Amino acid sequence: MPEEPTSLQLPLIFDRPLTIEQGRACCRVIAGPEDSIRWLKQYFTIPPNPRSPQQFPVKLYFGNPVTFGSGLLPLVLDAAKRAQVPVQVDVKRGSPPETFCAADVGWLRDYQHEAVWSVLENHVGVLWMPTGSGKTEVAIALTRKVPGQWLFLVHRGILVEQLADRYKLRTGLTASRVKSGLIEKGSEDSNLTVATFQTIWKNRKHQEIRDLVFGVEGIIIDEAHTLGGRTFQKVALACENAWYRVGLSGTPFARTDDKAVLVQGATGPVIYKLGASKLVEHGVLAKPTIWMVPCYQSPSHVYLNDWQKKYKELIIESLDRNRVVVAETLKAPKPALVFVKALKHGFNLKDMLEDVGLRVELVTGRDPNELRQRKISSLESGHSDVVVASVVLQEGVDIPELRSVIVASGGKSGIATIQRVGRAMRMADGKSDCVVIDIFDRGEHTLRRHARERLNSYRKEGYEVQTASVGSLSETVSWGNNNAD
C-alpha cells in the first residue's frame, strides 16, 4: 500500500462522514466531504519512483465516484481511523449462499481438502500454495462442492485448454470455453467456464460476455499476482455478483511495483498458506538445491545509463557468461531446462549447447501450442537433453521428468525466480530431488544487485542455497561440489 498522506490538513469537525457502499466485488464512495474524498484518493495513489521507469503517479482506484476492490475495505477503515476520517459503510452484499453439494472429491490430498474448506468457510480469499501443490485440483473441487456458475480466469491461452482437460479428467464433464468473443458451450451439467482475462476484456461489449461476467456466482483467479495489471483488475471486479472470489498463487504478494495490494482488493486476504518445504517433507515435491555459480564481468566497458544495451552486452552476447551457462548445463542432471529472456539469447545458447554435443530444443512464444508440446514431449521421452525456453514455460507447464533448471536470463523478479524453481519440483518415478543453477553475476553493479535479489528470494522461500567464491571469467563451480561460503 502507498504511504498514507500526511500533508493534507483535515478539518477538526466533520459535518458528515465519508460514506462507502460495499458490494461483493467493489466498494464505491457515494457521499462525503471533499477533504475526505481527497484523502482517500491520496491513500490510493503511488507517487512516482525516481529509481524506476514509473514516471507518473499510479492510481489504485477507479473512476468517479472513487471505486476500489472490496478486499481493501479493512485497510481503508484502519487508515481512516488513524487519520481521524469518519467513515460509514453501507453494506449491499446480500446473504452468502450456504448450500454445499455432497459431491465426491476423493482425488484430493489432505491439505487440498483443507484449502477447499477454507474457501467454503470464508467465501473470499487467496490460497497461497506453491507450484506442484495441485491448485487446479482444489479449484475443480470447489466447482463440485458449490452449486452455481463458476468462471476460471487465466492469463494465457494454453492454460485454458490445460484446465479444461483436467476438469474433464476429474468430473467427466466438458467445461465451457471463451474463444474469440464466443462461448463454446460445455456439457449440460457443467458449471465451469474457462477464459483468459484478455479475451473477456477485448469482448467486454458483447452481450453474451456481459451476461457471463455479471451472472457467475464464483470466480477463481489463476496466478493471482497478475491482478496488478489494470485490465485484469477491471475484469475481476466486473464479476460483481460473484460471492466466491478465490485467488490462486504461490507468490501472491511478491510484485515489486507496489501493486500487490490489488490482489487482496479483488479476492480478499490470504485464507490458506502452504509452504513448499512441507510438501517436500511429505514427498509431494522434489527437494531443490540452488547453486549460485559466479561469473565476473568488468563494468568498465558497459553502457552505464542504458539498461537494454547493458543487458545485451553482458548477458545476451556475453561469451564469457554464456560459456559458464553451457559448462554448467553440460554437467547438470538431464533432462534440463535453460531459461532465457531474449529470443536472440536463446538462439545463441542453443548453438553453443549443440556444439558441445547436447541435443537441444528451443521453445518460444512464437511456437504454436502443438509444436511447443512436441518439443516438451521430446525432452520428457529422452530424445532431447535440454530445452532452452523463454518465459512461456515459466508457469502453467508440467514436466515431472525435469531434473535441473539453469537460469541464464538474470533479472530480479521474485515471482519469476520462484516459478522457475517450481518447474523442476514435480515428482516422477525415481526422482526425489532436483537442481537449480543460477548465475551469480559479479562486477557490474546492476547485474550484481539483481543476482542478490534472486538469492534472497531463494532463501526467503526456505530453499537450500549453495554459493561459491568468486572465480575468474571462465571458472565454473560444479553443482555437486559443496564449497559454499
Whether residues 45 and 193 fall in one domain: no
393: phi > 0 → left, psi -120 to 50 → alpha, else beta; which? alpha
What pLDDT, on a 0 to 100 scale, did the predictor assign at position 483?
A: 35
Residue 264 has pLDDT above 60, yes or no: yes
- Residue-wise pLDDT for 21-77, tens only, equals 999 999 999 999 999 999 999 999 988 766 665 567 888 898 888 999 999 999 999
In which band, very low, low, confident or very high, does the pLDDT at 254 lie, cut at 50, 70 and 90?
confident
Among residues of the chain, what percentage have pLDDT more than 90? 62
CATH of the domain at 402: 3.40.50.300
Chain segment 332-389, per-residue pLDDT in tens? 999 999 999 999 999 999 999 999 999 999 998 888 888 988 999 999 999 999 999 9
The predicted model gives 183-208 an average pLDDT of: 94
Taking 70 as the threshold, does the pLDDT of residue 212 lie above it? yes
The answer to whether residue 152 scores a pLDDT higher than 90 is yes
The residues that bridge with 404 in the sheet, in sequence order, are: 336, 435
pLDDT tier at 485, thresholds 50, 70, 90 = very low
Query: Residue 140: which of 212, 97, 191, 185 has the closest Cα?
Result: 191
- Say yes or no to pLDDT of 273 above 90: yes
Give every CB contact of residue 74 below 8 A, 6+ residues apart in sequence.
Answer: 269
Confidence class of residue 179 from pLDDT cuts 50, 70 and 90? Answer: confident
Residue 148, all three cell numbers: 452455481
Are 98 and 78 contacting, i.e. CB atoms less than 8 angstroms apart? no
Cα–Cα dist 271/263, whole Å: 13
Number of domains observed in the structure of the chain: 3
Alpha carbon distances (Å) from 50 to 47, 361, 411, 412, 446: 9, 41, 19, 18, 16
Same domain, 313 and 456: yes
Asked, for residue 480, whether it belongs to a domain, the answer is no
Which residue bears the cell 478465490? 246
pLDDT attached to residue 275: 87
Together in a domain, 443 and 306? yes
One domain, residues 67 and 130: no
Given a contact cutoff of 8 angstroms between Cβ atoms, the answer to whether 358 and 331 are in contact is no
| Angle subtended at Cα 207 by Cα 204 and Cα 213, rounded to the nearest 5 degrees | 60
Instruction: Mark whether 255 and 287 lie in a shared domain.
Output: no
Q: What is the CA radius of gyration of the chain?
A: 24
The domain containing residue 58 runs over which residues?
A: 18-91
- Please give the pLDDT value at position 10: 44
Query: 458 is written with which cell numbers?
Result: 531463494
pLDDT-derived band at 314 (thresholds 50, 70, 90) equals: very high
Please indicate, yes or no, whether residues 396 and 340 belong to a single structural domain of this protein: yes
Does a structural domain hold residue 11?
no
- Show which of 259, 274, 289 is a domain's final residue: 274
> For residue 370, which phi and psi values (nearest 5 degrees)?
-65, -40
Distance CA(355)–CA(472), nearest Å, equals 23
pLDDT of residue 462: 86
Domain endpoint, select from 91, 125, 149: 91
Confidence of residue 111 (pLDDT cuts 50, 70, 90): very high
Cell representation of residue 77: 477503515
Residue 19 or 469, more confident: 19
**pLDDT on residue 468:** 64
pLDDT digits (tens, 9 = 90+) for 379-394: 999 999 999 998 878 7
Whether 6 maps to a domain, the answer reads no
Q: Judge if the upstream peptide bond of residue 48 is cis by omega within 30 degrees of 0.
A: no
Instruction: Please state, in angstroms and rounded to a whole number, the distance separating the CA atoms of residues 23 and 266.
Output: 12
Smallest Cα–Cα separation from 439: which of 352, 328, 319?
328
Residue 423 has pLDDT above 50, yes or no: yes
Comparing CA positions, the residue from 254, 318, 290 lying closest to residue 406 is 290
In a shared domain, residues 295 and 314: yes
330 and 423 in a single domain? The answer is yes
Does 99 fall in a domain?
no
Q: Is 214 in the same domain as 301?
A: no
Distance (Å, whole) CA 285 – CA 252: 20
> Residue 430: helix, strand or coil by DSSP?
coil
368 and 344 Cβ atoms separated by less than 8 Å: no
Give the pLDDT confidence of 76-110 residue by residue, as tens digits. 999 999 999 999 999 988 777 666 776 788 899 99
How does DSSP classify residue 478? -
Q: Is residue 478 part of a domain?
A: no
Reported confidence tier of residue 474, pLDDT bands at 50, 70, 90: very low
Look at residue 482 and tell me if it is in a domain: no
Residue 43 is inside which H or E element, if any?
A: helix 34-43
pLDDT in tens, 315-337: 999 999 999 999 999 999 999 99
> How much is the pLDDT for 230?
87
Domain assignment present for 461? yes
Phi-psi region of 355 (alpha: psi -120 to 50; beta: other; left: phi over 0): alpha
pLDDT at 398 over 90: no
Residue 441 confidence class, pLDDT cut points 50, 70, 90: very high
* 245, 301: one domain: no
Ordered alpha helix ranges (H), 172-318: 197-202, 207-215, 230-238, 261-267, 276-281, 307-311
Residue 25 falls inside a structural domain: yes
- Would you place residue 302 in the very low, low, confident or very high pLDDT band (cuts 50, 70, 90)? low
Looking at residue 53, its pLDDT comes to 57
User: Which comes out higher in pLDDT, residue 9 or 277?
Assistant: 277
Domain boundary, last residue among 240, 274, 308: 274
Neighbours of 367 (CB within 10 A): 17
pLDDT in tens, 215-228: 999 999 999 988 98
Between the CA of residue 207 and those of 24, 50, 55, 172, 214, what are the distances in Å? 22, 43, 37, 29, 10
What's the half-sphere exposure (Cβ side, CA atoms, 13 Å) at 449? 2
- Both 122 and 246 in one domain: the answer is yes
Q: Are residues 358 and 435 in the same domain?
A: yes
Neighbour tally for 306: CB within 10 Å: 11
